[in-house]
Amino acid sequence: MNPQEGIWSLVKRDIGNLAAADLGQITRAVKRRLKQIQYRPDLVDGCLTSTGLITDDWPTSRIQAEAVASSVSRQ
């Protein structure tokens, strides 16, 4: 599975029962859900992890990721 398949699965799960009046309403619902997912790194990490693309030394949380980024920038 590709990471984007996991993201789209989350989006479709949220808007699955939407009775949209027009295409614009569907577009807004999809964009809103993608924006919500963007601010949930745990969901994105879960989609990446399910692909097997994450290595063992990959930071498992935002705090660890920020610590890694700051240590790399100091070098």
Please state the rounded mean pLDDT for residues 5-15. 86
Higher pLDDT, 72 or 4: 4
Question: Which is it for the CA torsion 67, 68, 69, 70, positive or negative?
Answer: positive
Residue 11: phi and psi, rounded to 5, are -65, -45
Residue 47, pLDDT score: 80
Q: CB count, 10 Å around CB of 57?
A: 6
Residue 55 to residue 33: CA distance in whole angstroms: 28
pTM here is 0.61
- Whether the pLDDT of residue 70 is over 70: the answer is no
Higher pLDDT, 9 or 57: 9
Q: CB count, 10 Å around CB of 33?
A: 17
> Mean pLDDT across the chain, nearest whole number?
76
